[in-house]
Amino acid sequence: MLKDDYLVRSTDALATTIAHLVLRKTGTDYTPSGLEADAKADGLWFALDQLLKENRLNEAEDLLYEEADPSDLRYLEIAVDFYVHLNRFSDADLKAGGFEREEVGEGLRDMARQFGVDLAL
């Protein structure tokens, strides 16, 4: 669908913009460091990854909102990674996981706002 293609592209553009302008990264992936100082953030990323694999999308998003620390940009990096991966799901898989395509971009924008990032994309 044309509308869905637009939504996928606009969410990808938002994620890339946040990565470049805020996180100063060229990509949108979060890479767990394995360092003790990053254990909580890394643990969240692994938990989200597992929930996505199990198509427990609403539970994953709830966990992201519960655990994200707006004073630590690693959590914004995790959020960008999360929504980019969610954006790659088919509409059928999103629906099976209790999500609509529009919610992916909305979730990324809402999460970014918690970190003081408000981009009009």
Residue 41's φ and ψ, nearest 5 degrees, are -65, -45
Range of the domain at 51: 2-28+35-114
Contact, 76 vs 20, CB < 8 A? no
3 has a pLDDT exceeding 60: no
2 has a pLDDT exceeding 50: no
Per-residue model confidence as pLDDT tens digits over 36-92: 999 999 999 999 999 999 999 999 999 999 999 999 999 999 999 999 999 999 999
Kindly state whether residue 121 falls inside one of the protein's structural domains: no
Q: Quote the number of domains for the chain.
A: 1
Kindly state whether residue 120 falls inside one of the protein's structural domains: no
With pLDDT > 90 as the criterion, what percentage of the chain qualifies?
A: 91
pLDDT band at 118 (very low <50, low <70, confident <90, very high): confident
Kindly state whether residue 107 falls inside one of the protein's structural domains: yes
Enumerate residues 6+ apart whose C-beta is below 8 A from 58: 97, 98, 99
pLDDT band at 5 (very low <50, low <70, confident <90, very high): confident
For the segment 22-36, the average pLDDT, to the nearest whole number, is 93
pTM over 0.75? The answer is: yes
Burial of 119 (0-12, 13-18, 19+ CB in 10 A): middle
95 has a pLDDT exceeding 50: yes
